Amino acid sequence: MPRSSARVPFALAAALFLTACGGGVQGTPGAPGVRDPYFPRAGNGGYDVTHYGLALSYDPGSRELTGRAEITARATQDLSAFNLDLKGLDVGSVSVEGRGARWNRTGQELTVRPPGDLDRGETFHVRVGYSGTPETITDPDGSEEGWLRTADGALALGEPTGSAAWFPGSHHPGDKASYDIAVTVPAGLRAVSNGELRSETSGRGRSTFRWHTAEPMASYLAMVAIGRYDIRRSTTKSGLPLYVAVDPAEAKASAKVLARLPEILAWEEDAFGPYPFSAAGAVVDDADGVGYALETQTRPVFPGAPDTATLVHELAHQWFGDSVTPESWQDMWLNEGFATYAEWLWEEEHGGDTADETFDALYRGDYYDDPASGEAVWAFPPARPSGAAHISDSPVYERGAMVLHKVRETVGDTAFRRIVRGWAAAHRHGNAGTADFTAYVEKKAPDRDFDVIWRDWLYGDGRPSRP
């Protein structure tokens, strides 16, 4: 059949085009990552999550996880589609504003196409139903995270990207949200998560624990611990509720250190300012294979009985890392440098080495018995890790703490205390980067010169010279 040569008037053609495309402002897909320098596919562009409502059911026998995620977000651009990070697991349904949405998956990206465009500034609700056997993820540095099986249950840990193994979301530190997490497990087990326990119900051989976190939390700090735990509830002298869960196998070994939790929190409040959350506590599991403690928000997780220094470190993260969260994984030293320096300060004030002595030993290279560990401190600058596999290496921790000690030397103890407390207050429940920190220090001590500290200790290669 020959093609018609009839011409459609321009105005009519334009109207037909707009009608076919949905009319009005046309949205574009949100980015599938936020271009983090070390994890470029982490997080997603085009929206900001404000709340996660997670309903999880887990059976350690079958290893089957069933989940429903209800996500509230605000569009930061006109959106025709957006992505969620989710590793493994089978997606059964996706809806936006209560209407079924088209979706597809590529790797860790769950791409959602809502029934209609989302306008910039619009708040929208997404529901994802999913199930399957959640993955254990091996990080670039060889450590494991994600969903970790234990002898009687599981640990869900997320630094840096493991939370994507158990719920869909925008998994980058820059996108913080409040959380409601409900976990259903077989009767006899407990499910512990972040924040405050709102309810605990049982019936038909199952128990459900509902946890609420009102303050903003980065997804890598969300956690779930499932198992048989001895539970201790108490309050600090200031009225802060404490919830501590301990595997019975670790109860005796951890009792003495955990008894100091209120004391350590009080000391850190004096050093860093008011505690930033509405609850505190700890989880001590019997999980030797995990190999690390983690500063999960309000309730750090320990794979065995912690020592005092480790408890000081992970609790300090509640201010530095959890409340003041890094803008990107390149800013990791703002987490670990502060938490490590908290250990130094604790030792200094409790009969141990002074911070000067610890600094000098690290500088000389005899802090560690192994000379290679001493040299590792200088492998790269703390503000410029050499790759994703090294964001938790010694320069980020020890050399990061050394940067803070140099600031203290420069401004004096009184001003340093004001800077530390002020930094925690200025970015409370927010995100901040290295440039924010250096600018803050310079603003608070304008009569001091920090150029050598930033150039040689924070960004410089190798061991700096000491005048």
Q: Distance between CA 23 and CA 46 in Å, rounded?
A: 20
Strand bridging mode 136-138 / 144-149: antiparallel
The DSSP line for 395-409 is: IIIIIHHHHHHHHHH
Indicate the residue type of 403.
V
CA angle 326, 331, 332 (to 5 degrees): 85
Instruction: Please give the structure tokens belonging to residue 114.
Output: 């809502």
What is the pLDDT at residue 288? 87
- Is residue 437 within a helix (H) or strand (E), and if so which, with residue range? helix 434-444
- Omega cis (within 30) before 160: yes
What is the pLDDT at residue 382? 98
Q: Write the DSSP symbol of residue 2.
A: P
Is residue 276 within 8 A of residue 239, CB to CB? The reply is: no
Alpha carbon separation from 345 to 195, 320, 351, 359, 410 (Å, rounded): 27, 15, 10, 12, 17
Can you give the length of the chain in residues?
Answer: 467
Write out the E strands in 399-456: 431-432
Q: Distance between CA 244 and CA 98 in Å, rounded?
A: 38
pTM as predicted: 0.93
Could you tell me which residues come within 8 angstroms of residue 326 by beta carbon, excluding any fewer than 6 positions away? 173, 332, 334, 335, 431, 432, 433
Query: pLDDT tens string for the chain (467 positions)?
Result: 433 333 334 343 333 333 334 444 589 999 999 999 999 999 999 999 999 999 999 999 999 999 999 999 999 999 999 999 999 999 999 999 999 999 999 999 999 999 999 999 999 999 999 999 999 999 999 999 999 999 999 999 999 999 999 999 999 999 999 999 999 999 999 999 999 999 999 999 999 999 999 999 999 999 999 999 999 999 999 999 999 999 999 999 999 999 999 999 999 999 999 999 999 999 999 998 899 999 999 999 999 999 999 999 999 999 999 999 999 999 999 999 999 999 999 999 999 999 999 999 999 999 999 999 999 999 999 999 999 999 999 999 999 999 999 999 999 999 999 999 999 999 999 999 999 999 999 999 999 999 999 999 999 999 999 86
